[in-house]
Chains A and B, each alone.
Chain A
Amino acid sequence: MQLHPILASLRHHKLTSLLLMLQVTLTCAIVCNVASLIATRIGNISLATGIQEPGLSSLYVTDVNHGGDPLAQHTADLAALRALPGVRSAAAVDNSLPLGQSGFSSTTCDSKSDADHAHQLHTSKARGCGQAGIYAGGPGEIATLGVRLVEGRDFQPGEYVTRGPDGPAAVPAAILSRSLAEHLFPGQDALGKDIYVGQKVIRVVGITDTVLADHLDEPASDCWTMFWPILPTRADVLYLLRSDPKDQAQLLKQAHETLLRINPERILREERSYTELRHAYFQRDYTMIGLLLASALGLLLVTAIGIAGLAGFWVQQRTRQIGIRRAIGATRRDVLRHFQAENLLIVGAGIVLGLGLAVALNMLLVREYGVAPLPYAYPLLTAMLLLAVGQVAVLNPALHASRIPPATATRNL
């Protein structure tokens, strides 16, 4: 393979070749970063919540008549819900679920002194402390969510308390997620220890596997959560139902009718399966993935079109030269190779520049938008992809060129 004729023809088409190279550079830089953004978003949407998602449904109920007895109402509602066909378990909880985008959290510490220290500093990021999401609910919450207990036990019936106007006076027990337990008591067994939340001292009676908070913030603390045994006593309550996944739609409809039959004076909202809730939480990520994927494919397509179109023009323009080269002994394979190598040279140069630009662009994105730094694999994959796209795009025009008969040289154009 001789490099000389290729370089000569590139010199002849300096501006056009440079432009094509520029296009490849831009495409490479953008596609590298888009691929990395897609990977981040896919990481988001495939995050495990720690609950058994299929088969879980929820209804958010607000009593519009103040002054009733919420506890009695919830007991009656739960009895009716549990009696519905297909319901395996049900629970009444405060309006808080993993990824439910509403809930509350508190500064939680491993000792009284650390709690006082954190209070003085006005921060939950003090030594021995962390901001932990609280899932408060009545009996059956852990079983209905399908959360796995790895140590200890579920709450006992006597441990459930009610909430006063300023929150529960005392909470006898808490079940911590494993990552909260490990954060508060590194290297020790948290089971049986006490945690300090505001003025409260709470005994840890159980440890669960991962349970995600109601919204995502920082990966390190997204799983710092705990369960409290509190019977909902406010006008709003969230009912959780577990059933066979295929019965969920039917069950939600029946639950709606049942609840309104027991007491029509209330508003039902957010009647949905957990799958829908999860999808709603990650809606923006799904949108972004779609847009990023479409633009990456679009860019590759446009670049492929550019390469094929340009090669096509070049073949037409150089028909006579190709004929002459054929006449003086170049084989069809030589002509094919010529165009393929030419493409390799332009695309390769574009990729080399593009990788540099990709890193620069990524640094900018990291600074402005806090995206993840580019992993090494993506530039390599993108480079290979672009080389392949270039070769595929040039193949047809190059084959066309290789079929130009030597006799063309003798013809006058």
Chain B
Amino acid sequence: MLGYYLRLAIASLKRTPVITGLMVTAIGLGIGASMTMITVLHVMSGDPLPGRSADIYYPHLDPLTLDDPNNDAADNFTWPDALALLKSGPAPHQAAMSGGSVLVRPERRELQPFYADGRFTTPDIFSLFGLSFLEGGGWSQADEEARARVVVLSHSFAHKLFGTVPAVGRTVRFEDTDFRVIGVVADWQPSPKFYTGDSYAMFSGPDGYFLPLHTAVELKFGVNGDVDCWANSSYDAMTTSPGCTWLQYWVELKDPSQVAAYAQFLHDYSAEQKKAGRFQRPPDHARLDGLMPWLRAKHLVPDDVQLQLWLALGFLLVCMTNIVCLLLAKFLRRRNEISVRRALGARRRDIFLQFSVEAAMVGLAGGALGLVLAQLGLWSVRQRPDDYARLARMDLSLLLWTLALAVGASLLAGMVPAWRASGQAPAAQLKAE
């Protein structure tokens, strides 16, 4: 029976080729625009560490002065606080880090010196976030404290510097200091790049290198990101000052008891610092945020992108209303045919099914067109200069969602007209004509 309905639907659609084409175009445009923006939003608000994010936490301390206009706890950490947490914080893994930018002077003659972004970090970052080593390994706590001149490179950064030969054991010159390469990690690009802590850098490119935090501080390497100082201090003293926040701090806590213990630890530490006269604000400003709630509070999706999504959905809504309207008019025009079929024994639900098939065909064609248009839309999004733009790609699940949305939307749009059409009494229309 379905085959017969299909043939009927094709015949009916063919009878009004212009209107059919326009309906397909309209739903294609609506679906294409909506799926483009849904994909962009999906990329921007995804889980950066699938399977691991529930165990990652961001602690907050509040070393700000009482008269500081910012009433919330600080986002970043001062050097002394980060060191204290690293020493006594009860967590299986934790690391303090900061973004940095250094001048790289490659050995290879054909490469000009260039600036590259990377991470200055304590050694636990690799196990904390689960980075996988392709060659060598990280550095020890002893190396960290000894300010060792060692570095771990990302795969593509190592490839850029040394080509295909193994990088471990080679030397790379950062600013005016030689570093020994001790490990190469697979390219790591969580999206968003949550660990930067800086909303502006959340979609920036992958880090090229990881080097010991103490070493970077000793060599006065340039720091990227928010540096907030409230005590008067010169820029050089900023890194170790108790009055400047600039470090990000992440911990892994595996169960609620660990979370509670760490929160208690933060509170106790703050109370201790307040007693010692260093912190001015109450210790209950200290808190622990889970990675995903912390990310949501960052509002990473720009207003422009949100507006674009609403615009696309509004467009889809108008297109759907348009199709309901046209299908309804079209189906109701075929009262004679419906009456005859009803008189010949077709049940209400047969008629309903017949017209639903026709609506679904419009939806399928529109969905296919929408898919093509969405790819075109995403291509144009990738041409934007924003950091998030180059991530805008559709995966298989989004692809299936697009098709489902298209067929769902047009079935929904076809439902009302099909229902009205099937409500036609068998003989009434025959009598009238």
Contact = CB atoms under 8 A, between A and B. Distances in A.
Q: List the 5 shortest-distance A-B pairs measured between CB atoms, nearest first.
A: A313-B329, A19-B325, A306-B322, A23-B321, A305-B22
B26 A302 contact: yes
Interface in B30-61: 33
A356 interface: no
B113 interface: yes
Contacts of B112: 267
Interface string A242-277: 000000000000000000000001010000000000
Interface of B: 19, 22, 26, 29, 33, 67-69, 103, 105, 112-115, 176, 234-236, 303-304, 306-308, 311-312, 314-315, 317-319, 321-322, 324-326, 328-330, 332-333, 384-386, 416, 420, 433
Contact of A287 (B235, B324, B384, B420): B384
B113 A309 contact: no
Given A23-B322, A280-B385, A309-B326, 6 more contacts: A19-B324, A165-B236, A295-B33, A302-B26, A309-B22, A369-B303
Most buried by A among B26, B315, B317, B385: B315
A26 B33 CA distance: 17
Contacts of A122: 67-69
A299 interface: yes
Nearest to A284: B304
Residues of A contacting B: mostly? helix
Contacts of B326: 306, 309-310, 313
Nearest to A20: B325
A26 B318 contact: yes
B243 to A, nearest CB: 14
Given A30-B314, A166-B234, A313-B329, A15 B420 contact: yes
B103 A64 contact: yes
A310 B329 contact: yes
B19 A309 contact: yes
A343 interface: no
A198 B311 CA distance: 46
A307 to B, nearest CB: 9
A245 to B, nearest CB: 24
Contact of A283 (B26, B306, B324, B385): B385
Contacts of A27: 318
Contacts of B22: 305, 309
B317 A26 contact: yes
A369 to B, nearest CB: 5
A409 interface: no
Nearest to B324: A19
Nearest to B236: A165
A27 B333 CA distance: 26
Given A291-B308, A312-B19, A317 B332 contact: yes
A93 interface: no
Contacts of A280: 385
A303 B318 contact: yes
Contacts of A309: 19, 22, 326, 329
A395 interface: no
A261 to B, nearest CB: 15
Given A312-B19, A317-B332, A267 B115 contact: yes
Given A64-B103, A284-B386, A302-B322, A314 B329 contact: yes
Nearest to A288: B304
B100 to A, nearest CB: 16
Nearest to A287: B384
B215 to A, nearest CB: 18
A302 B22 CA distance: 8
A267 B113 contact: yes
A283 B384 CA distance: 8
B325 A16 contact: yes
A413 interface: yes
A283 B302 CA distance: 14
Nearest to B335: A317
Contacts of B312: 295
B315 A299 contact: yes
Nearest to B328: A16
A166 B386 CA distance: 33
A256 to B, nearest CB: 13
A65 to B, nearest CB: 9
Interface in A118-167: 122-123, 165-166
B325 to A, nearest CB: 4
B307 A369 contact: yes
Nearest to B318: A26
A298 B315 contact: yes
Given A283-B385, A284-B304, A305-B22, A23 B318 contact: yes
Contacts of A314: 329
A13 B329 CA distance: 9
26 contacts: A15-B328, A16-B325, A16-B328, A19-B324, A19-B325, A19-B328, A22-B321, A23-B322, A23-B325, A26-B317, A26-B318, A34-B311, A64-B113, A165-B234, A166-B234, A284-B304, A292-B311, A295-B311, A298-B315, A302-B318, A303-B322, A313-B326, A313-B329, A316-B333, A317-B329, A365-B307
Contact of B318 (A123, A299, A365, A369): A299
